[in-house]
Structure formats: C-alpha cells, structure tokens
Amino acid sequence: MTALKIIFRRTKTLLWTAFSIMVILAAVVVGIGKLMMPFSDRYQPQLETWLSKEFGRPIELESFRGEWTAFGPRLSLQGMKLMPVESGELDGLQSSEEEVAIESAALDIKPLNALIPGRPLYNFRVIGADFELRHTLEGRFELSGFGVSGRDSQSSALKELARVGEVILEDSSLVYQDEKYGLLLGLSDIQGALQLDGDDLSTEIQASFYDSRSGLVYGEVEATLMLTLDDDQRLVNLAWQATARELMLAAFQGRLPRNPFLPLTGWLNAELWGEWSRPDGHRVRGATDLREARLVNDYQDLRLDRVNTRLQWHSMSKGKWNLNLADFLYDDGERSWIAPRLSVARDTKADLGLWISADELPLGVPASLARDVMSIYDTQWPAFLPRATDGTVSDFDLVLDSTWHLVLVEGKVRQASVLDWERWPDLRGVDAEVSLHRGSGLLRLSGERVEADWPRMFGEPLHFAVHLRTLGLIELRFRS
C-alpha cells in the first residue's frame, strides 16, 4: 500500500509538472505571437501562396492584418479574390473560368487544437459573402464562389475549400435553385459552420429567408444538415433537421412548384427532420402550425384561422409515396374539428392510384382531398361523382386504382348530404353504412328525416323518414 501511495504521488507530480510546462509554453507562444502581429503584413506573398495551395486556386489579397484572440491568432483578409485556374497552372487542380471575390474573410489559427486528435488547426471565416447553390437536373450540386461545378474532375473543389478546416459563415447570403423541382429560395444573415470529413459534409446554419427583388425578410430558419457526396459532387444520402419561424407564405409564390395544397397567404411555424438516400427515398417527420391562411385552387377558396398537425411523409417517387397525419386540427373560424388519424398513399406499380383512410372526418374532406390529389396528376374529377358533400364519416377507407377507378369505399356516415351530381338525387339527412367494392356492395340506410331532391323524377323535393324502431334499417345488396 505504501508503494502504491508513492507511485501515485510521483505520477501526480509529473502531471502537474507537464501541465505547468504547457501553460508556460503557451504563454511564450502567445507573447511571441503578439509581438510579431504588427509585422505580419510583410508576409503577404507567402500567405497568398499558402492560401492558393489550400483552396486549389490562385489567391490574391488587397490587404490583411493580424490580431490575437482569446484562442489564438487571427488573420483578417480584405479583398480576397479566388482567381481563375487554367489547366496545368496548378498541379492536380481543376480548371475554372470564374473569378470570385470575397470582400472580407478571416483565418483563425487554433494552436491548442493540436492537443485534441481530429480537431482542425485553423478555420476559415467568410464574412458578408454572397453564394448561389444550384441543384442541377443531373443531380449535381454547383456552389458559386468556390468553384464547385458539374465538370468531370479528379479533384473536388468543395473538398479543397474544406481543407482549411472548419468554414464559418458570418452575415452572408445564399440563393438556392433546384432545376428539377423548380425551387428558388434566398437566405440572408447567414450564421453557420461547414465541415468536411472525407465524403461527409456537415453544416449548421441560422438564417432568414428574403426576397432578392424587394429585400423583404419573410421568416427565419435554423437547420442542421449531414450530407454524403460522391466524387462528382452528387448527393448520396442526407440527414437534416430544420426549425422555421413565422414564414410568410405569400413570399414563396412563384418560387415553389404549383401545388393545390400550398396556401397563397398565411404564417407557418414548423419543426421538421428527415433523411434521404437513393434506395430509400425521402422520409420527413415533424409538426407544423399554419395560421391566418388562404387556400385557393381550381375547386375551392378557403380562409383558414389555424391548421396544425404531426406528420410523417415518405416519398420514393411521384408514383410512390405515403403521408400520415396525427391530431390534425382544422379551424376556419366557423367550424373546428380534429382528426385523430388521416393517411394518404399512392403506389402506381402496385396499381394503387390513391388510398385515403381516417378514423373520423367531415365527409367533404376525403372527397376534396381526392380531387386535389388527382389535379396534381392532371386528372379531372369524374362528372358522375358528387361535387359537394357534408356530414361526418368514421372508419373510412377509399381506394382508387392507377387509372383512378373506384376499387373500394367503406365507412359509416352520419347526417350526410350528397349534392350536385348527375343523374342522381341530392340527398340530405342520411345515416348509412357503406361498403362498396368493385362489382358488388352493401348499403345500409337509416335516418329520422331524409330529403331527396330529384328534379327529373319529382316536381318538388321528396321528404320521408325511416324509423329504426318500426321499420328497422333499409339494406341494399347489389352486384354488377
């Protein structure tokens, strides 16, 4: 025991001695660094040469100055230019025809990171820069400002950029354009960080959406992304999380693809996260809250006080996707209702054009939803189906095949109204159990007071009652 105490004391003494030596050396380095800072501008040619190698492009500086921060020296770079590269000018580097100017940047050197395995010794801070990120039809990402292009090359300009360690963005802006989906979005006041480890790119940003034409800010977003890129800068997989605050939807008009479910106006708050890969498609989960919105499409014009829900979305392609909503709250100022569960799916390879399922809904919702989804695929609502319905439906399922023909409809309706359909009477006040399949079906009707308005058969609406205690249910079975 005595020997162990002696060994422990000696080890403790050695550790304290090593720590004291490191503190003294750090103080000496800091002191020397502070003394050398006033003379650092003499080394501008050497700095430009080193930066050129790190970025993979010739670098020119108007000026720079050195200062000492709490964690190490900082080189503030003014008027930094990434010059064009001609083939063969720099060994192993790709050619570029663009000259990019960064008004203000900084290089933070962190000598203490040498004690932490895997930590970069410096990071590059971009201040007040304007970027454009383009997602091409071929699936490539092109980032202006750092030479990321769709050209075939053995060297990755994005990787050359991230070789400086961690890239920090301050007070910068970015315009994102997606050629495949027709997206055009702008971000301003970006504060964030970007790191690259092999083929894995991670970034964390705080930014504001803005209108480049008017300069109007229309919402804030925080996001974290983890991307894996192949050698040609094509996306392999993606994981992300985003928080949106008070997005003004009116400002997105003309920047997003046309969609009957996208409100013209309103304010959106959302907390979303998801992942994407080529084999598994895109999965999104989260919660959204929409307020003071106006929804306009070919079939309806609605003013919505509030709509919020929890959601799960999985999309493999335009012909295969599913959406699940939980605790869907709808309030238009006149009526309010909650759907505990609402599911919508499509899989054309399995001959499923559309499936809608819900525990309980207003009867008009599934019809309106089916009609709007069909409009996305340029399919008109069949003329023989009713154009207006009301009431409540529970245990509901609707299945259409890939040619939009009815396969199945089941549910229990209460105080239903079915209006505005060809050849059939308008009905009001109907309670029913419906189970209609392709070629056969079962319909049970009941109601205290049912009204049938059928001008082709009656001069005036016909009123009749079905009393359960005396007559029981009316049950109709049929087969085509």
What is each CA distance from 53 to 101, 163, 295, in whole angstroms? 17, 10, 54
In the numeric block, which tokens belong to residue 263? 């409100």
Give the per-residue pLDDT at 85: 65
Collapsed DSSP state (helix, strand, coil) of residue 407? strand
364 membership: H or E segment, kind and range: helix 364-376
Q: What angle do CA 369, 373, 375 make, to 5 degrees?
A: 120
Cβ atoms of 326 and 353 within 8 Å: the answer is no
Amino acid identity of 249? L
Give the per-residue pLDDT at 193: 80
The CA distance from 194 to 119, in Å, is 14
The CA distance from 319 to 468, in Å, is 45
Cβ atoms of 54 and 46 within 8 Å: the answer is no
In the numeric block, which tokens belong to residue 16? 């304290």
Query: Measuring CA to CA, which residue among 244, 242, 178, 175 is closest to residue 210?
Result: 175
Query: Per residue in 37-58, pLDDT tens?
Result: 444 556 778 878 877 877 767 8
Cβ atoms of 99 and 81 within 8 Å: the answer is yes
The CA distance from 451 to 338, in Å, is 28
What is each CA distance from 420 to 385, 388, 417, 427, 453, in whole angstroms? 8, 6, 10, 10, 10
The CA distance from 65 to 340, in Å, is 62
- Residues 6 or more apart in contact with residue 245 via CB below 8 angstroms: 219, 220, 221, 269
Give the per-residue pLDDT at 92: 40
**Half-sphere exposure at residue 96, Cβ-oriented, CA atoms within 13 angstroms:** 26
Low-confidence ranges of the chain (pLDDT < 50): 19-21, 23-39, 88-97, 145-158, 467-474, 476-480
In the numeric block, which tokens belong to residue 252? 């997105």
Strands (E), 249-371: 265-277, 281-296, 301-317, 320-331, 336-347, 352-362
Give the per-residue pLDDT at 331: 93
What is each CA distance from 417 to 5, 155, 428, in whole angstroms? 89, 66, 4
Residue 36: phi and psi, rounded to 5, are -85, -20
Dmax (CA) for the chain in angstroms is: 113
Give the per-residue pLDDT at 388: 82
The CA distance from 82 to 415, in Å, is 71
Give the per-residue pLDDT at 3: 57
Q: Where are the domains of the chain?
A: 31-257
Query: Per residue in 271-322, pLDDT tens?
Result: 999 999 988 999 999 999 999 999 887 777 889 999 999 999 999 988 999 9
Give the residue ranges of DSSP H helices in 2-92: 2-36, 44-55
DSSP 76: E
Instruction: Please report where in the chains the tokens 């809250």 appear, as a residue.
Output: 289
Collapsed DSSP state (helix, strand, coil) of residue 342? strand
Cβ atoms of 58 and 83 within 8 Å: the answer is yes
Give the per-residue pLDDT at 266: 93
Collapsed DSSP state (helix, strand, coil) of residue 265? strand
Amino acid identity of 170? E
Q: How far is CA 423 from the centre of its chain?
A: 45
